[in-house]
Amino acid sequence: MTLYKIIFSLSIFTFFLSSIGQSYYSLDSRIYKLSADTTIKAGIDPDKKIEIINVSFPNLRGSSIYDFVLTVENDTAKGVFEMMDDAVVQLTDIDNTDGFIEIVITALGPSDMNDHKIFGYRGNKIVKLGDFSQYFGFSSNGDGILKAEEWMGFWTKTELFKLDNEYNKLLLIPQETYSLEIDAVVTTPFNILRERINGSNIVKTLQPGMKIKLIEADTSPICLTDRGYVDDFNCDWYLIKTEDGKTGWARLETFRDLVDGLIWAG
């Protein structure tokens, strides 16, 4: 795991920071030691003033569990990172028309799924805009939409969040399906269906050697395993397109072991 995989997509504004007892560093110093408070000086709201932002980690509660304290001017917010080896503090502008700059604190843990806390400074108060732990990367081009990347085993799902300054929240924009483009080759026959319903009409029975493309995914279904555990992964529906232009749906559990070409990583 590299730091850049976590933060490659954030739109960063140039600012300077200092660690207590140290001289100023540029933004290129992106990882800060847990034992040191980090202070950033930047204008993060429309009043055109320079705010003093401080992030500290005063307590280790247990193995890799840290309290954190965020202070902007005279207001303070506290929280906990449940799994943390190191930390990243950054600024990003999600909506370049509102005059606000957002604060992102990321706890780097043992996997790519790190814990991200996103804060704003509104009316001299710190507000938590979002709390994300299952995403490995973020991006925004300043249009008010935050794109969050989630790894789905063999493809990346992009969730969209709208920055709502009335409610001071990053609100999920519902998507019925997600686009993808994954090539595969059938190794064992299986059916693709007309609708995302078990027992729906069969569009085509795919035969070994057929080249197919997965073009959409519906990740909303939640099923139970044989042992009664929630499985929100294997029962997802995928829209499959054949070489002759036929399209139909199949659950992942019905074809994942019947094709070659899905590059699994986790």
Q: Are residue 143 and residue 199 in the same domain, yes or no?
A: no
Tell me what pLDDT residue 161 has: 97
What percent of the chain clears pLDDT 70, i.e. is strictly above it? 83
Domain CATH for 242: 2.30.30.40
| 4-13, 186-195, 211-220: the lowest-pLDDT one | 4-13
Q: Encoding tokens for residue 107?
A: 């706890």
Grade residue 23 by pLDDT with cuts at 50, 70 and 90.
very low
Torsion sign (Cα): 112, 110, 219, 208? positive
Q: Are residue 202 and residue 219 in the same domain, yes or no?
A: yes
Grade residue 171 by pLDDT with cuts at 50, 70 and 90.
very high
The rounded distance, in Å, linking the Cα atoms of 206 and 190 is 5
At 88-135, the pLDDT tens digits run: 888 889 999 999 999 998 887 766 667 889 999 999 999 999 988 878
Cβ contacts of 61 within 8 Å, gap of 6 or more? 67, 80
What is residue 201's DSSP assignment?
A: P
Q: Are residue 182 and residue 156 in the same domain, yes or no?
A: no
pLDDT at 12 over 80: no
Which range marks the domain in which residue 24 is found?
A: 3-172
Q: Are residue 239 and residue 165 in the same domain, yes or no?
A: no
| Domain end residue (candidates: 143, 172, 201) | 172
266 lies in some domain: no
Q: Are residue 156 and residue 217 in the same domain, yes or no?
A: no
Q: Which of 2-6, 36-40, 59-63, 116-120: highest mean pLDDT?
A: 116-120
| Domain end residue (candidates: 122, 151, 172) | 172
